[in-house]
Structure 1
Amino acid sequence: PSFMKTYIYIKVLLALKLQDGNAVRRETGVEGGNIAVTCPFLLSGSRKFVCKDKCGGENILIETTNNTAERGRYSVKYERNIIIFKDFLYFTIKDLKKSDSGRYRCLFSGWLVNSKTLFKQLFVKLAVVAR
């Protein structure tokens, strides 16, 4: 029906809008230190991801449907703020290394657990500097 066409069209526009240059945040961390990045979202889904560069294979640092997750030096915490209608994904890297510099993505996929539909992503450019 026309509702589905409109729904798909809106999702395509949202995905295209989120990939423009305005969606990139820049963060700087110190080698050996920790960094916490806040990824705010107006819409979220059930599955949360943090990836380095492209999302696939070894580049997926964390993938979870839980509100918190940890994998090695990486951790995420999800919070919903119903007062301001925003969701937050807090992404932390411990013991920063120069090789951690690069482009990261915080993203949510659809409300259904097995959905591959991307609802929102935020790009973060991280630079790790020497002490």
Structure 2
Amino acid sequence: KQIVQMYMYTPIYLLLLPGVVFGETLTVTEGEDFTVECWFYTSGSKKIFCKNDCDKQDILVQTAGDRAEEGRYSITYEEETNIMSVRIKKVQMSDSGQYQCKLEKFLSNIWWVKDVSDEFMIQVTEGKLT
């Protein structure tokens, strides 16, 4: 089982905090369970885990609550810390690609209220798929 922590901050914080991870490629072995923790600077009303561009067909799992599961994919959100953990069970070779943890804001139609997201790549290496 592999757990990776991703951090999402406003641009001003990027200048102040060394070691912030964005757009990283994460390697996981086929057949393993994989979890990424995305840390956000703010909360959101809808939590989304998606692949590629996050178009409707790319959404793997979403919820307005704190937990959701859809097949091999799940989200757990901690409101107190603004940490969204996303999980893929029994990773397959086809899981390689670009992903996003995303928080949609309730009032995202207002220009100063922006959705926040963190992107990362998953590269799956051959392993024992059971």
Report the TM-score, using the length of structure 1 for normalisation: 0.73
Hey, what does 1:38 align to over in structure 2?
37
Hey, what does 2:124 align to over in structure 1?
128
Higher helix share: 1
Cα shift readout 1:10-31 (whole Å, capped 9, x = no counterpart): xxx97xx9xxxx7313221110
Structure 1: gaps of 5 or more residues: 1-12
Q: Which moved more, 1:118-127 or 1:35-44?
A: 118-127
1:110 to partner: Cα distance: 0.8
1:124 to partner: Cα distance: 1.2
Conserved 8 A contact 2:26-2:120? yes
Partner amino acid for 1:52?
K
Structure 2: gaps of 5 or more residues: 1-9, 15-20
How many residue pairs align between the two structures?
Answer: 107
Hey, what does 1:28 align to over in structure 2?
27
Cα distance in structure 1, aligned partners of 2:92 and 2:114: 30
Cα distance in structure 2, aligned partners of 1:97 and 1:107: 22
Conserved 8 A contact 2:62-2:75? no
Cα distance in structure 1, aligned partners of 2:98 and 2:43: 21
Cα distance in structure 2, aligned partners of 1:23 and 1:119: 16
Cα shift readout 1:39-96 (whole Å, capped 9, x = no counterpart): 1001121101111001112211112101000000000100033xxxx41000000111
C-alpha RMSD of matched pairs (Å)? 2.0
Hey, what does 1:62 align to over in structure 2?
61
Hey, what does 1:52 align to over in structure 2?
51
Partner amino acid for 1:88?
I
Cα shift readout 1:72-130 (whole Å, capped 9, x = no counterpart): 0000100033xxxx410000001111110011000101135xx4664211001111111
Cα distance in structure 2, aligned partners of 1:118 and 1:47: 13
Hey, what does 1:91 align to over in structure 2?
86
Report the TM-score, using the length of structure 2 for normalisation: 0.74
Percent same amino acid among aligned pairs?
Answer: 33
- 1:108 aligns with one of 79, 103, 106: 103
